[in-house]
Structure 1
Amino acid sequence: MSSTSRQFDRIIRAASAKLQAVRSRESWALHPAEQAKLAGLTGVALVKATRMKEAPWAERQMDAIWSRAEAELVAEVAAAEAARRQAEAEVAAAKVAKKARGWF
């Protein structure tokens, strides 16, 4: 296993862990700006709830933040896996080319 492959594995593991955290609605996995927006929307929803009113706009915005973060992380994992496959293919092609040249 090459160092490049290990780097991609590390990136994939980190992105997958963040993806699991986003799917279980853990805010640490979000970008700081998204965390701040989520905190503000949660405050709006709490104020509305204490007044016995609904806050569908805030709830929709919160759902949009979570779904956008999930989509970004899914794309990041897919891109890292594709880059890893490409790097492995390049290494394999180089190895085949080296063997095709012969030993002399």
Structure 2
Amino acid sequence: MVTNREEYNKTYTNFLCIDEYGNIITPDYITYAFRNFIKRENLKPIRFHDLRHSFASALRSQGIDMKQIQEWLGHSNYSTTANIYTHVDFIDKRNAAEKIDKLMHLKIVD
């Protein structure tokens, strides 16, 4: 926190994204801060943008409709969400296999 009010930059007072000194936060701030966080915490290197893929896949695994995921991510094209951002995990594959197995064992009665 700023202790001396004269150090505070009053140029950007009407902006939403300013730091504690009143300086504007640049668009790439999150990218660099996230990269530093990953390094500091000794985590597997990923880009901040990769979290969108994880988020989309997590929503899908919870049964959220693909169209709703598309809207959450702001994609204009459904196929972008379905083919690039959501990923099928082992549990999804197992659930699909169980449904196929159940379908194959149905007895159709006329």
For the criterion TM > 0.5, the same-fold answer is: no
| Structure with more contact order per residue of length (Cα contacts < 8 Å, sep ≥ 6) | 1
TM-score after normalising by structure 1: 0.31
In our comparison, the structure showing a higher alpha carbon Rg is 2
TM-score after normalising by structure 2: 0.30
